[in-house]
Amino acid sequence: MLDELQVQELTEKARQLRVDVLKMLNAARSGHTGGSLSALDALTVLFFHQMRHDPSNPQWADRDHFVLSKGHAAPALYACLAHAGYFPLDDLKTLRRLGSHLQGHPDMRKTPGVEVCTGSLGQGLSQAVGLALAARLQGRASRTYCLLGDGEVQEGQIWEAAMAAAHYGVDNLCALLDWNGLQIDGEVDKVMRVTPLGPKFLAFGWHVLEVDGHDLNAIARALADAAACTGKPTLIIARTVKGKGVPFFEHKASYHGVPPSDDELSRALEHLGHS
């Protein structure tokens, strides 16, 4: 449970992150707006409240691990890493530029704080299961967190990983599903229906929670619940709004892979209280 001061601090952090995500996308003239904004509140709670990590020592053996399985939301991850101190904030301006360490999708070989290379949808949960199993075999207390996209769970490899995680009782694994209901081609359930997701993961042997993915307190409570669960992995279904935080981006599949124009950036920053 977050106290009032923590809610205020995390709310302000999420606002700053949204500002930086929109600025870097605009500067790059490419990238993914909608899914980066929908995931930011969950990422804010993870990086600035829940996870054990040390920006001064990114390879700290007992750190918690984070896998951005929906790798196209890299701008949201990069903003979190920069604000956490893994690299200078000014680096965000170089998103997707030739020679930048901030690629269009996360690259563990280039960017401090990135655990695995992601972007080919459906693979991140398998990587997260491996990281969690390795930590258990090594006797480490670290946990692994994995952020999935709702369109991504149309991939068969997600379900193979879900089956394996439950079979091996990987209880130091927590997956978060960014359920904004939209993917690049439109509504997820019209492209390829994946609901009901909760009962499906329950049937696979997971502990399942569902929260408002923009309620910081609810996210923090669910993460605490996941950490206390033994014997099985946890899925947190976070109900979100694609493009959250900027009204004219919200609920629009058309902004899945489109950056804000100069005019849209100006209007969005004004809405977010940033000049």
Domains detected in the chain: 4-271 (3.40.50.970)
- Average of pLDDT values for 79-94? 98
- The amino acid that residue 191 corresponds to is V
Residue 270: Cβ-neighbour burial (10 angstroms; 0-12, 13-18, 19+): exposed
Q: Which pLDDT belongs to residue 64? A: 98
- Average of pLDDT values for 165-173? 98
- Whether this prediction's pTM lies above 0.95 is answered by yes
- The string of DSSP codes covering 148-217 is EETGGGGSHHHHHHHHHHHHTT-TTEEEEEEE-SEETTEEHHHHS----HHHHHHHHT-EEEEEETT-HH
pLDDT reading at 15 higher than 90: yes
Task: State the pLDDT confidence band at 181, using cuts at 50, 70 and 90.
Answer: very high
Q: What is the pLDDT of residues 38-70, one digit of tens each?
A: 999 999 999 999 999 999 999 999 999 999 999
Q: Is the peptide bond before 247 cis (omega within 30 degrees of 0)?
A: no
Q: Which pLDDT belongs to residue 275? A: 63
CA dihedral 240, 26, 66, 47 (to 10 degrees): -80
Nearest to 13 by CA among 267, 255, 249, 245: 245
Q: Which pLDDT belongs to residue 152? A: 98
Write down the residue that tokens 């090594």 correspond to.
138
- Average of pLDDT values for 141-158? 98
pLDDT reading at 120 higher than 90: yes
Q: What is the pLDDT of residues 183-226, one digit of tens each?
A: 999 999 999 999 999 999 999 999 999 999 999 999 999 999 99
pLDDT reading at 81 higher than 80: yes
- Average of pLDDT values for 120-128? 97
- Average of pLDDT values for 128-150? 98
Q: What is the pLDDT of residues 244-272, one digit of tens each?
A: 999 999 999 999 999 999 999 999 999 99
Across the chain, mean pLDDT equals 97
Exposure of 99 in the CB half-sphere (CA atoms within 13 A): 0
Nearest-Å Rg of the Cα atoms of the chain is 17
Nearest to 40 by CA among 11, 63, 69: 11
Write down the residue that tokens 């009962």 correspond to.
199
Q: Which pLDDT belongs to residue 224? A: 98
* Strand runs labelled E in the chain: 65-68, 144-149, 173-179, 182-183, 186-187, 207-212, 234-239
Q: Which pLDDT belongs to residue 207? A: 98
Q: Which pLDDT belongs to residue 1? A: 77
- Average of pLDDT values for 66-88? 98
